[in-house]
Structure 1
Amino acid sequence: MKEVTIRGQRVPSLMQGCMRISNLSETQVDALLHFDLEHGINFFDHADIYGGEGVCETIFGNVLKKQPALRDKMFIQSKCGIHRSETNHYDFSKDYIIECVNKSLERLQCGYLDYLLLHRPDALMEPKEVADAFDALYSSGKVRHFGVSNHNPYQIELLKTALQQPLEINQMQMSLLHTPMIDAGLNVNTFDSHGIERGAMTLDYCRLHAITMQCWSPFLYGMFEGNYLDNPKFPEVNQRLQELVDHYHTTKAGIAIAWLLRHPANMQVVLGSCNTSHIKDIIDASDIVLTREEWYSLYVAAQNPLP
């Protein structure tokens, strides 16, 4: 499997998203973890809200508790900052970040987090408070590395005015049918709506600053609107995917992942599937290197204009 580098640390280009493991038994999660590790996926993505209040972290932690030797074989990442209540909101205050991490560690039973990400921006964020929280978590050994999710360059720059630790990851939605970070760069100085910088040049910024991009929802279109693979709403892109499936002897999901990994931005892809057969097909396709012509043909087939 292709690997990428996060600030000198080699990690797999595919990572296991744990948002859906609340639908599995502990026995099924145990089987999923062993399958992943046996096939080179040793990076696991959590958030304190997945499955409800810590449900996914709890299930994962119960499996780890029974097999503590697994911990040293894994990179474990979690996210915090989304506050579920009667009025959902975001909270990057020092006390809340530390409280969330302590609860995540208690549920995950893993000793420390390899990576902690701030989960979506907080409009009321004070960089100094975040820095104080990160300092406390880092010095105590509870978190080794830090990052963000769904942040634009200026939000990251604002955080960096106070942080001592580097921000190493930015987790953003990206798929063949969700490409605003690419569209704006290809449609510079045009009147086409694709030239609007909805991604605020985040992709190029992360490349410039050695921040690893983690792509979530690699098979979805819109904001959780649905899967585009074999979806009759998108005949052109599915036809082109099928042509490449026939050429490379893989699956549409495999080609969709190869399309993301062909980009030179040092990306990781978060796999939300818990279906090991599906994951195996994607692993097998992850080393496919699409040609430039193939990559652009898929982009155009997804109804993205080239100027």
Structure 2
Amino acid sequence: MKRIKMGCTTLSIPAMALGIMRMNQKSVPEAQVAIQAAYDAGINFIDSADIYDGGKSEEIFGQAFSQMQIKREEMFIQSKTGIVPGKRYDFSKEHILHSVDEILERMQLDYLDSLVLHRPDALMDPEEVAEAFDQLQAAGKVRFFGVSNFDTAQFKLLQSCLSQRLMFNQLQFSLKHTGMIDFGMHMNMVDKPSVDRDSQFLDYARLHKVTVQAWSPFQYGMFEGTFIDNDGFPKLNQELQKLADKYEVGKNAIAAAWILRHPANIQMLVGSMNPQHIRDSAKGAKIRLTRQEWYDLYLAAGNYLP
């Protein structure tokens, strides 16, 4: 598995992480198979969130992982907080501290390697978040911190009050969600792709050594479905299959290789619980697409260049 530097540190993390949002749909033995498949492929990074089925995914993970032979220190385990289901976002100190305690209990852990704030809270008080982060770190409950779906200004605002460096920002990015790179290639144009909807965060991340974590790497829309083997995207699947045949892998590996080919050292979150899909996706970390192959995929996905 390809390794990348975590944020501004010298620590290395795998270029892929296993997202466990769908682990609630699995039995404990099935969850163990998925975790083991990821671990055997070099994916020793877990991404979760307290909102995933109201904590059920974390409960299943906790039961599964506690019975496995993998040592805790061999895994990097991350969770997210800040969304109150169906009601609001909440970055209050009280909510953050309480959520972490509940996450640790569900996942049967003593600490999280990373805590990520899940979607921006319009009522965020950066100083209050800083107090929560300091308390969590001092208590040994969280080692590192990050955010999810923050724009550049929101990221800067929070960072200005923290004693810790924010390591991550989770952002949607895939062959069918390319806004972070579209506007740069359509600079000085007036067409739809020229609109910057991500506040140039990818460039900011490269300048300030923030690790972007790409979620929904095989999805189109938000959660509408996968574009892999989807009849609605014939050109893209034809191109994926052509390269899959060339590199002797599956389409998931090629779609993953496309994300990892970007020089920003993006970490991709694999959300599948299918061991075969996990193993195939992991193979993408070993493939370095040519520039032409990368652009051929970009164009096959329905994008165009000025």
- Is contact 2:117–2:148 with CA below 8 Å preserved after alignment? yes
Counterpart of 1:4, as a letter, is I
- Is contact 1:184–1:199 with CA below 8 Å preserved after alignment? no
Q: Distance in 2 between matches of 1:140 and 1:152?
A: 29
Q: Distance in 1 between matches of 2:172 and 2:134?
A: 28
What is the TM-score of this pair, normalised by structure 1? 0.96
Give the structure 2 partner of residue 40 of structure 1.
Answer: 42
Q: Distance in 2 between matches of 1:68 and 1:165?
A: 32
Match status 1:257 vs 2:295: no
Aligned residue pairs: how many?
Answer: 304
Give the structure 2 partner of residue 243 of structure 1.
Answer: 242
- Is contact 1:29–1:60 with CA below 8 Å preserved after alignment? yes
Residues 63-78 of structure 1 correspond to what in structure 2 (within 5 A)?
A: 63-67=64-68, 70-78=71-79
Give the structure 1 partner of residue 164 of structure 2.
Answer: 165
Match status 1:216 vs 2:215: yes
1:49 to 43, 51, 54: 51
- Is contact 2:213–2:268 with CA below 8 Å preserved after alignment? yes
Q: Distance in 1 between matches of 2:65 and 2:244?
A: 37
Shift of 1:63: 2.4
Q: Distance in 2 between matches of 1:156 and 1:176?
A: 25
Give the structure 1 partner of residue 23 of structure 2.
Answer: 21
Unaligned residue ranges in structure 2 (runs of 5+)? none
Give the structure 2 partner of residue 2 of structure 1.
Answer: 2
Counterpart of 2:176, as a letter, is L
Give the structure 1 partner of residue 83 of structure 2.
Answer: 82
Residues 64, 249 of structure 1: alpha-carbon distance in 2 compared, 3 angstrom cutoff: closer
The alignment partner of 1:189 has SS state of: coil
- Is contact 2:179–2:198 with CA below 8 Å preserved after alignment? yes
Unaligned residue ranges in structure 1 (runs of 5+)? none
The alignment partner of 1:124 has SS state of: coil
Match status 1:150 vs 2:163: no
Counterpart of 1:59, as a letter, is I
Give the structure 2 partner of residue 60 of structure 1.
Answer: 61
Shift of 1:290: 0.5
RMSD: 1.3
1:199-234: per-residue Cα shift (whole Å, max 9, x none)?
Answer: 111111111110001111011111112111122222
- Is contact 1:64–1:110 with CA below 8 Å preserved after alignment? no
- Is contact 2:148–2:169 with CA below 8 Å preserved after alignment? yes
The alignment partner of 2:171 has SS state of: strand
Comparing 98-107 with 59-68, greater Cα deviation is found at 59-68
Residues 58, 134 of structure 1: alpha-carbon distance in 2 compared, 3 angstrom cutoff: same
Counterpart of 2:72, as a letter, is R
Q: Distance in 2 between matches of 1:96 and 1:192?
A: 42
What is the TM-score of this pair, normalised by structure 2? 0.96
- Is contact 1:64–1:70 with CA below 8 Å preserved after alignment? no
Shift of 1:65: 3.2
Shift of 1:69: 5.6
Residues 196-235 of structure 1 correspond to what in structure 2 (within 5 A)?
A: 196-235=195-234
- Is contact 1:30–1:63 with CA below 8 Å preserved after alignment? yes
- Is contact 1:151–1:170 with CA below 8 Å preserved after alignment? yes
Counterpart of 2:281, as a letter, is I
Shift of 1:68: 7.6
Counterpart of 2:111, as a letter, is Y
